[in-house]
Structure 1
Amino acid sequence: MTGPLKIGVVGCGSIGIRGALDHLTLPDVQDRVQVTAVCDPAPGRAEAAARKYGVPQAFEDYDRMLEQADMDAVTICTPIGLHYEQGLKAIRAGKHVHFNKTMTVTTAEADHLIDEARSRGIHLVASPGQMLRPHNRRIREMISDGVLGKISWAVTGAAFGAYHENEGVRQGDDPLHNIDPSWYWRTPGGGPLYDMTVYGLHALTGILGPAKRVTAFSGVSIRERVYRGKTYPCDAHDNTLMCLDFGDALFAFVYGTFAGSVAPFGMPSFFGQKGTIVGLELNGQPFDYPGREEARAASQGDQVLLPHVKGPHREMGEAHVFEDVMQLVDLVREGIPTPATPEHARHVIEIIEAAYRSA
């Protein structure tokens, strides 16, 4: 296509603001992508976002947005449990779709979206695009080249903590700063596996390939959480430990918990006959990869090495989300393929679903 991709932001919460609107409305990308509509059901939020970011159209109703907005694509920035229904409606309306993580809750939902998009010539991109990061590609090369010898096991995971409660967009009283985080604690789509462990799982399977078997223990540990004086019941699993089998007796320990981590966030560690990779170190020493020194000096770390994170984006939060949206932009406008595929996201969802089924 010629001209910029017209995109709508679905959900003006934390990720919609920090990962999409903050980035996509900057002058440096307007020749490639323009935000033409925003949507959020919270009273006044879409209108407030449209005013702040200079977006022409604002909607509280998603169906009206799909019918009336001038847009070619959407980025879905809503709670994970809504992704399938909203994605399916967008595909059937002829819109290309970027899904924030996790694309869907179930494998069947992911399969349906992929099939519907393929049959209609619609492009999908699914976050997180972990294999866009140079260090992950370098780790894959080193393992393939035998630098670690035969791999015994790997580990990755994440802990919830109180990260979401403490985000700045949730501390005020106006529509753009009173965003309720309680969906993270409820089914469908809540819990650390779908929200945080997904990063490490995308990296792990991007490096080692698909898992073959999964077994797990899982449950709900914290049954109530308090946010701004209100108590919320919690039914999403917040304490999951799983073991993945990659074949040939290569295993991985993966966790999504309410507290405690043993691996750097989103960065699997690998243990082999000849050595180990922990974070960005090979046998205790930093390993080389394109842009290593630049990333070490940057306030946003290795996000500055992502292909579209240039200029002002380098100092901004959630630049990896912006990068994944730009992957969709390039795919639609220029046919440039991306590693942030819905098929990879589907496999990660398959692992999460298998873990819950096992538990």
Structure 2
Amino acid sequence: MDAIRLGIVGVGTVSLRGILPHLSQSDVRDRVRVQALVDPVGERAEAAAAQFGVPTYFTDLDDMLDHGEVDAVSIASPIGLHFEQGLRALEAGKHVHFNKTMCTTVEEADALIEAARRNGVHIVASPGEVLLPQVTRVRELIAEGAIGRLAWALCGCAFGQYHEREEERLSPPGGRPIDPAWYFRNPGGGPMYDMTVYALHRLTSVLGPARRVTAFSGQAVARREFMGLGVDAEADDNTIGIVDFGDSTYAVVYGAPAGMRAQEVGGVRYFGTGGTIEDTLLNGEPFDFPGREFLDNASAGDYAAPKRLLPHVVGPHLSLPEPHVYEDVMQLVDWARDGKASPVTAEHARHVVDIIESAFRSARTGEAQELRTTFDHPSSQARREAVGT
């Protein structure tokens, strides 16, 4: 079959660091070809197109959808723009990959899922934690009772000053620095939507759908700095929540400006009456799963190493950044090109959005929030077995 013609929406750091380097490799050209770029900064889009051999570039999304000759798009713009841009692409009959997070509200997610159904196209929403072999094995270990009765879990990520210091921001193609201000503004800013989303996908991949959320949330750092200029922040950057999975099983979830950053973004600790699982350790000892040897030999500084076990991450892709983003793009390519449905579902992504949105609503109202979404996944059955119901 012909290669899928892909348009990339947003020539920011994730596109420059991950999507474009992966998709310009020769081993994927028979399956996917980047046909067009779109970014409001025209000189950046033009320079990136020249650097990565992309035939066309645009400064307007509708122009690309109308004239870019694309079959699918990857949305890699600020999270607050995802809903509007994704909806326009779906209504134009394009398959859509959303680089985390799919959108910011359940209402938006409902509209996206309905638009995809109505137009006969597919959605894949990063991150695809469900595809990692170590996550599958954690789900199995808990179901087998390896740590006794599961009681609670801990996950999240500390924001720090990560985005102000990304190398790609200072000297991108075209020369104009990439402003990180959106990370600190609403909608879509803050560590919950940007980073804790990974942990929530992994957590729910193991435990299944959650039932309700309660949280406290506020802003700890009101002003940030990029290239000597102040950035006034709006979004909450200090959120601590408790997610209730039913049967007295809970998870503490955080998105904070400082403190403990997981060994890898998305890592989860599980605590049971008979032991603990922390990332790839069972009671402090490594447990086995496909790819264990690769991880054991990985560099201690390679935070993305666990995500290099994803199915499409082979050959030259093993040494490139953002392998999980590449994997999710390829999940969409396989679905659109070969009809191979991805387990990285929009319904799962919607449930994670529900958890984040409900956490902020709980913080505002002072009341626990019932989640109104769910998703179909084997983890639901695994969790029922783990608690003996």
Q: With structure 2 as the length reference, what TM-score do the two structures score?
A: 0.90
Whether contact under 8 Å (1:219, 1:238) holds in the other structure is: yes
1:222 deviates by: 0.8
What do the CA deviations read for 1:283-322 (whole angstroms, capped 9, x no partner)?
A: 0101111110112223441222111111111011001100
Worse-superposed segment, 327-336 or 236-245: 327-336
Matched residue, 1:279: 279
The answer to whether the aligner puts 1:355 opposite 2:359 as a matched pair is yes
Task: Give secondary structure in 1 for the equivalent of 2:187.
Answer: coil
1:340 to 341, 344, 347: 344
Q: Which amino acid is 1:100 matched to? A: N
Matched residue, 2:334: 330
Counterpart-to-counterpart distance in 2, 1:109 and 1:173: 32
Matched residue, 2:288: 288
1:148 deviates by: 1.4
Worse-superposed segment, 99-108 or 287-296: 287-296
Task: Give secondary structure in 2 for the equivalent of 1:338.
Answer: coil
Q: Which amino acid is 1:324 matched to? A: D
Matched residue, 2:308: 304
Q: Over aligned residue pairs, what C-alpha RMSD do you find?
A: 1.2
Task: Give secondary structure in 1 for the equivalent of 2:359.
Answer: helix
Gaps of 5+ in 1: none
Whether contact under 8 Å (1:263, 1:279) holds in the other structure is: no
Worse-superposed segment, 109-118 or 332-341: 332-341
Counterpart-to-counterpart distance in 1, 2:195 and 2:176: 22
Q: Which amino acid is 2:275 matched to? A: G
The answer to whether the aligner puts 1:66 opposite 2:70 as a matched pair is no
Whether contact under 8 Å (1:168, 1:177) holds in the other structure is: no
Mark the CA change 1:156 to 1:176 in structure 2 (over 3 Å): closer, same or farther. farther
Q: Which amino acid is 1:303 matched to? A: K
Whether contact under 8 Å (1:6, 1:72) holds in the other structure is: yes
Whether contact under 8 Å (1:49, 1:176) holds in the other structure is: no
Mark the CA change 1:165 to 1:105 in structure 2 (over 3 Å): closer, same or farther. same
Counterpart-to-counterpart distance in 2, 1:43 and 1:36: 16
Whether contact under 8 Å (1:9, 1:77) holds in the other structure is: yes
Whether contact under 8 Å (1:125, 1:328) holds in the other structure is: yes
1:338 deviates by: 1.7
Q: Which amino acid is 1:46 matched to? A: A
Counterpart-to-counterpart distance in 2, 1:115 and 1:13: 28
1:172 deviates by: 2.4
Task: Give secondary structure in 2 for the equivalent of 1:248.
Answer: coil
Matched residue, 1:140: 139
Gaps of 5+ in 2: 364-389
What do the CA deviations read for 1:53-100 (whole angstroms, capped 9, x no partner)?
A: 111110011111111001100000000000000000000111000000
Matched residue, 1:237: 236
1:337 deviates by: 2.1
What do the CA deviations read for 1:12-31 (whole angstroms, capped 9, x no partner)?
A: 10011122111111111000
1:174 deviates by: 5.2
Q: Which amino acid is 1:161 matched to? A: G
What do the CA deviations read for 1:184-217 (whole angstroms, capped 9, x no partner)?
A: 0110100000000000000001100111010000
Counterpart-to-counterpart distance in 1, 2:6 and 2:167: 25
Matched residue, 2:367: none
Matched residue, 2:15: 16
1:159 deviates by: 0.7
Matched residue, 1:256: 255
Mark the CA change 1:173 to 1:303 in structure 2 (over 3 Å): closer, same or farther. closer
Counterpart-to-counterpart distance in 1, 2:62 and 2:15: 18
Task: Give secondary structure in 2 for the equivalent of 1:165.
Answer: helix
Aligned length: 358
Identity of aligned residues (%): 54
Worse-superposed segment, 291-300 or 190-199: 291-300
Q: With structure 1 as the length reference, what TM-score do the two structures score?
A: 0.97
Worse-superposed segment, 191-200 or 301-310: 301-310
Mark the CA change 1:152 to 1:115 in structure 2 (over 3 Å): closer, same or farther. same
Counterpart-to-counterpart distance in 1, 2:132 and 2:185: 31
Q: Which amino acid is 1:83 matched to? A: H
1:119-158 pair list within 5 angstroms: 119-158=118-157
Counterpart-to-counterpart distance in 1, 2:190 and 2:21: 26
Task: Give secondary structure in 2 for the equivalent of 1:331.
Answer: helix
Mark the CA change 1:117 to 1:355 in structure 2 (over 3 Å): closer, same or farther. same
Q: Which amino acid is 1:317 matched to? A: P
Matched residue, 2:224: 225
Counterpart-to-counterpart distance in 1, 2:173 and 2:206: 43
Counterpart-to-counterpart distance in 2, 1:354 and 1:256: 14
